[in-house]
A and B are shown apart, each in its own frame.
Chain A
């Protein structure tokens, strides 16, 4: 009898655990912009497949239409077989469900990927797109491997012309990060003035093989999501002072939902556990005024665990925002 009771108890615990594990933290509102974010994916490994499965499972809860790839979409070879092994197969369920992928190039990517239909780059190394005409959100995919003056001029022009409320940039190398590479200072010198001038709100990058939510910098919220297949355990340097929350113990991906002046995010690991979740709020001047977040990572691996009352301190908005 005891054994039966114990079995029932274990079963209930397992079921509850699994339900909690796949808990959705996003508001899932009608008409909002929803998407997934994956970085440093192209290994073809079991870790990539495991994350792919979780993304597909959450697609059942959040009906997102597209996903951002933050570069290193294809490590090593890029033969047709590699495309299958490192992209088409791990994300088959998503591709079959009509999810569109928008890729940025990483340092392991052959720029010829820009012609690959499923990456939706339209033959360009850097490009911009709007998920819908009415959404008020515009994305800017950059090639951070090769930030030549031509690309910077293009970005300046496109940002100046964008009337979107939310401007989201995504690329491979992080201007802010606390890993072995650290913040890419040269890239920061080039891009940050444009982000600040034109009110880019959120930036997604990869390259570092962990998840890190950076404290808002000059009115911009940066995320590092480079662990959707690769992982560098214990790599987050706690001393940089940049980290609002970091997770370097497991592979992760992000779900994002934009509704009005709020961008909700949820970071999930390969078991479906929520590692981080919160809201990025922007003010009337289009700058991020606050990011609140709550990590739920296992204690030993969590860096600077924030309490709700200790949400990432928002820097005051810089004066003289873009007059557009």
Chain B
């Protein structure tokens, strides 16, 4: 009788364990703990990413810009062994052409309110967890800070340093094609800059909080 009681107890215990999802085989799979998502993954549109729709929209808007820019560059690309005059001339011509075809461009065309909100959210953990290091990486020489008057299609002034974008922030944001880049003005505004034309494509005020 005692043996039967022990067998019943053991059976109940085993069933209980299965019910809780706790078995030796399951330990490695960790069904109750979701896999950690890396900052890079959060910035990629994928079915698992709840922000996928916003990122897809951002990518489409960016593609649209880059296609236009590349079409202009295709006819007269900057040679790889250019003279300073060629470098400058191509930059200025391209900037003028972009301004013409994007005459009505305005802030938020690429960094829509939803994108801006998402980007702030993506960068925030880095700013929060490494405030000193991030701030240090944003420091410029002799205390000077890039203070650019932000306007779509305006040039990034030659008088202002092209502020370093800390690698930890870059890792949290969607990667950009080589034609455009992120820059930061006043230590807090995120700017998308056309590398070849040296113009401001779009910007987010107070992206770094």
Contact = CB atoms under 8 A, between A and B. Distances in A.
A123 B90 CA distance: 14
A279 to B, nearest CB: 32
Majority SS of interface residues in chain A?
A: loop
A144 interface: yes
**Chain B's interface: helix, strand, loop or mixed, by majority?**
loop
Interface of A: 76-80, 82-84, 107-113, 115-117, 122-123, 125, 144-150, 152, 173, 180-182, 184-187, 189-190, 207, 209, 232
Interface string B81-103: 11111111001000000000000
A152 B84 CA distance: 29
B165 interface: yes
Interface of B: 40, 78-88, 91, 130, 133-134, 136-137, 139-142, 158-159, 161-168, 170-171, 175-176, 178, 181, 195-196, 198
A146 to B, nearest CB: 6
B80 A181 contact: no
Given A78-B88, A116-B84, A116-B87, A111 B165 contact: no
Given A182-B136, A184-B137, A185-B133, A80 B83 contact: yes
Contacts of B168: 186, 189
Given A115-B80, A117-B83, A181-B139, A186 B133 contact: yes
A226 to B, nearest CB: 9
Nearest to A181: B139
Nearest to B166: A186
A109 B171 CA distance: 22
Contacts of A144: 164
B162 A112 contact: no
9 contacts: A78-B87, A79-B88, A80-B85, A110-B162, A145-B162, A146-B170, A152-B167, A180-B142, A186-B168
Contacts of A82: 84
